[in-house]
Amino acid sequence: MSEDSITTIIWDWNGTLLDDINTSIDSINILLRDRSLPELTIEKYREIFDFPVRKYYEKSGFDFKNEPFEGPAMQFINLYKSRQNEVNLFPDVKPTLSYLQEKGYRQIILSAMEDSLLKKMVKDFGINEYFDSIYGIKDDFAKEKVSIGKKMIEELCIEPKQCLMIGDTLHDAEVSEECGFRCILFSQGHISKQRLEKTALPIIDKIEELKRIL
């Protein structure tokens, strides 16, 4: 095996393995309606979604001169948690995870979701067996993904250039660059394909395309 061979697949969760776009949009629209603000279409949502999420809230119309960011952020999280039964994995996720496991790849989740909720959801979907490790963040505000990625590298003694990250956001591209991973972006998540194309990174439209690539 060459020193540059991919040995480890690092998965994002929301919008990559988990199809939660509609639930996320419905939840933010409830908050916007409560404030008499215009609701988001899926097209608008995918054009403005961003990290840190505070920027996305501001683009959605929230005015943090009138209320602290933590207020609507926690309202959104509580709404999202109450609607977990509405979300599901993308349909080709389990067969792809199984294929990659059979091929001998180590698989890890690195997510901006709070760690205990992330691990519960992975367990509830019955896909624990495919992952060597699962890394979420300490709080609910999606601030720490780069630092968690670097912690993961240290704890698992990972060689970054042998890692391939799969994610659906510009932030996943940033995390990959900061951590030294290779990266493929997924076009059916929280950000439009047109925005992803500006990174010049490879893009897949279906998770199962990885079977052809790897």
- Burial class from Cβ neighbours inside 10 Å (0-12, 13-18, 19+) for residue 128 reads exposed
Q: Convert the pLDDT of each residue in 64-96 to its tens digit.
A: 999 999 999 999 999 999 999 999 999 999 999
Q: Convert the pLDDT of each residue in 110-164 to its tens digit.
A: 999 999 999 999 999 999 999 999 999 986 555 589 999 999 999 999 999 999 9
Q: Residue 2 has what pLDDT?
A: 44
How is the chain split into domains, by residue range? 8-19+88-213, 21-86
pTM, entire model: 0.94
CATH architecture of 8-19+88-213: 3-Layer(aba) Sandwich (3.40)
Q: Is 212 helix (H, G, I), strand (E, B) or coil?
A: helix
Phi, psi of 49 (to 5 degrees): -60, 140
Q: Are 51 and 142 in contact (CB under 8 A)?
A: yes
Residue 23 pLDDT > 80:
yes
Q: How many CB atoms lie within 10 A of CB 207?
A: 22
Which amino acid type is present at position 72?
A: P
Phi-psi category of 107—alpha, beta or left, where left has phi over 0 and alpha has psi -120 to 50? Answer: beta
